[in-house]
Structure 1
């Protein structure tokens, strides 16, 4: 990231959703997200306290921010969830990322953050599966059929080639033919008729819902299961049944953040390991056959920033985006 050479010729780069989609590449995002976890593990990258508050309009607004001083990286994502957008024909999740020059505090790049949030979360889930799921896993159950559920499944199938069978649970319990058609050439996918049976028969369970409550019964989770939990990202949200966390080997993206807004908020004293420490090799992880493992994903600001930096650099190299004079 190169700061402006003078105050008079400073520019602000704008990247809209179409430009972001053109520049995003899943493999590059995977590398950028891995870098974010490593920076976090090495404490070269910081994540600042999360803002996550309900609005009178019915939405939830949040800010995730952080920096990596050795990388010249500083910025934040303003994001949230506005369920009424569905009635307006829009996406309920909304996000905007701002990269800032850490030397001057001047804005460098404003980026539509929806696709970044989606893909970086999928990449984080994929990294969790690589580290924690049994390598011979063949059956996966996913709760949710929306944008995040689809990207989680996409990365799971990319990174775990042994996966063959996928069962999904929709919000209304009905088939989602669009989801099935999207993945039909990559796996045997079908709607689950019994959510507890689907969990019990699966090696991997992914929960990617709005987090309104426990999605299955405690007894459904069998020894050897791995769970990626995506939906609990706000105080009061949950997807796992009560009393499950004390029985598992718990991995989180950030311990403090998970205890505040993640699934871990329901059992905050559960011992946990941060995924970055596994990726960095600071902590070893050997899965016993009967271990139940959970990756509590709350999303790190550093993930947004490393991916945003990637797009900023690629936009500069390709001439993509709109540049506005921004003198100071």
Structure 2
């Protein structure tokens, strides 16, 4: 019997200390490239409602050539807000593909947040007009904040952010987060805010269309985050036929993303742009849209990065895990 095996635990605070935006961007870029080249596999997603009112999901995959295997168990529990906690919950497990033994357990909340923000940043870099100066964001929660943060990193001419809240009220804390970095304005007319923006970001619970299709002007780019489960949507019915559609995973987008509402819409996987398998010329009047459902390889490449960093620097807990 082997009795010297160890299991590494990386908790919330350690994850947040180890995460660096630039490193996460490169890990996510690698994830999309691996997916494009067929070197990284994405297994079917589990996403099921619970009688408790929550939604439970599993995203898993592997990169056989790199010995990378694992999954993220995650979901959404809205009642957590009443407990003073975060409704999104995620835990990542890395597994040794040679033995099936667990190698590392990582708090996945911050990873999910930042890898999704990094994907949004890549979408803007690859698809948005380089002169994009005005952004409209639906939502002011954790994901909306990280999407705006990455937009500010990659859109050099960004000068104005308009935000829309679910209750129509100002969000002072959201404004304060970006104070001094960009003009941040609360918008009450959703269609007008969309029509006057170069980039639109939707980061809501996906309970229904957020604006009218006619509000989206030629040349706009949209990053859509909130549709990640069957039945969710943020976009109006008539929009997808007008756009050049990009997805992280074609099958997954058609099952749980915005693309579920128009599954026959032609689309390109974002990884194919990164690897150069597909090249596009963005015309000034093109409306581009990135349907972001989040793939397991994003979680795994970022988790591996943190695992390796924790082993090098030591900010983690090591448990005896004999077998």
Q: TM-score, normalised by structure 2?
A: 0.99
1:65 and 1:162 mapped to 2: Cα distance?
37
The residue that corresponds to 2:168 in the other structure is: 173
Is residue 170 of structure 2 the alignment partner of residue 207 of structure 1? no
Cα distance, 1:193 vs structure 2:
2.2
1:145 and 1:114 mapped to 2: Cα distance?
17
Aligned residue pair count? 323
Cα distance, 1:152 vs structure 2:
0.4
Is residue 238 of structure 2 the alignment partner of residue 243 of structure 1? yes
1:125 and 1:49 mapped to 2: Cα distance?
23
Cα distance, 1:171 vs structure 2:
1.1
1:237 and 1:326 mapped to 2: Cα distance?
40
Is residue 44 of structure 2 the alignment partner of residue 63 of structure 1? no
Matches within 5 A, 1:99-248: 99-248=94-243
Cα distance, 1:315 vs structure 2:
0.3
The residue that corresponds to 2:260 in the other structure is: 265
- Secondary structure class of the residue paired with 1:277: helix
1:157 and 1:54 mapped to 2: Cα distance?
35
The residue that corresponds to 1:45 in the other structure is: 40
- Secondary structure class of the residue paired with 2:27: helix
Cα distance, 1:289 vs structure 2:
1.3
Is residue 78 of structure 2 the alignment partner of residue 93 of structure 1? no
2:157 and 2:47 mapped to 1: Cα distance?
38
1:277-296, Cα deviation, whole Å (9 max, x unpaired): 00111100111111111000
Cα distance, 1:7 vs structure 2:
2.5
Q: Which of 286, 295, 299 pairs up with 1:291?
A: 286
1:96-129, Cα deviation, whole Å (9 max, x unpaired): 0000001110000000000000000000000000
1:325 and 1:266 mapped to 2: Cα distance?
48
- Secondary structure class of the residue paired with 1:223: coil
1:185 and 1:268 mapped to 2: Cα distance?
42
1:195-254, Cα deviation, whole Å (9 max, x unpaired): 100000000000000000000011101111100000000000000000110111000000
The residue that corresponds to 1:324 in the other structure is: 319
1:34-59, Cα deviation, whole Å (9 max, x unpaired): 00000000010000000000000000
1:18 and 1:99 mapped to 2: Cα distance?
19
Runs of 5+ in structure 1 lacking a partner? 1-5
2:302 and 2:234 mapped to 1: Cα distance?
27
Cα distance, 1:184 vs structure 2:
1.3
Runs of 5+ in structure 2 lacking a partner? none
Structure 1 stretches of at least 4 aligned residues deviating more than 6 Å after TM superposition: none
- Secondary structure class of the residue paired with 2:26: helix
Cα distance, 1:185 vs structure 2:
1.4
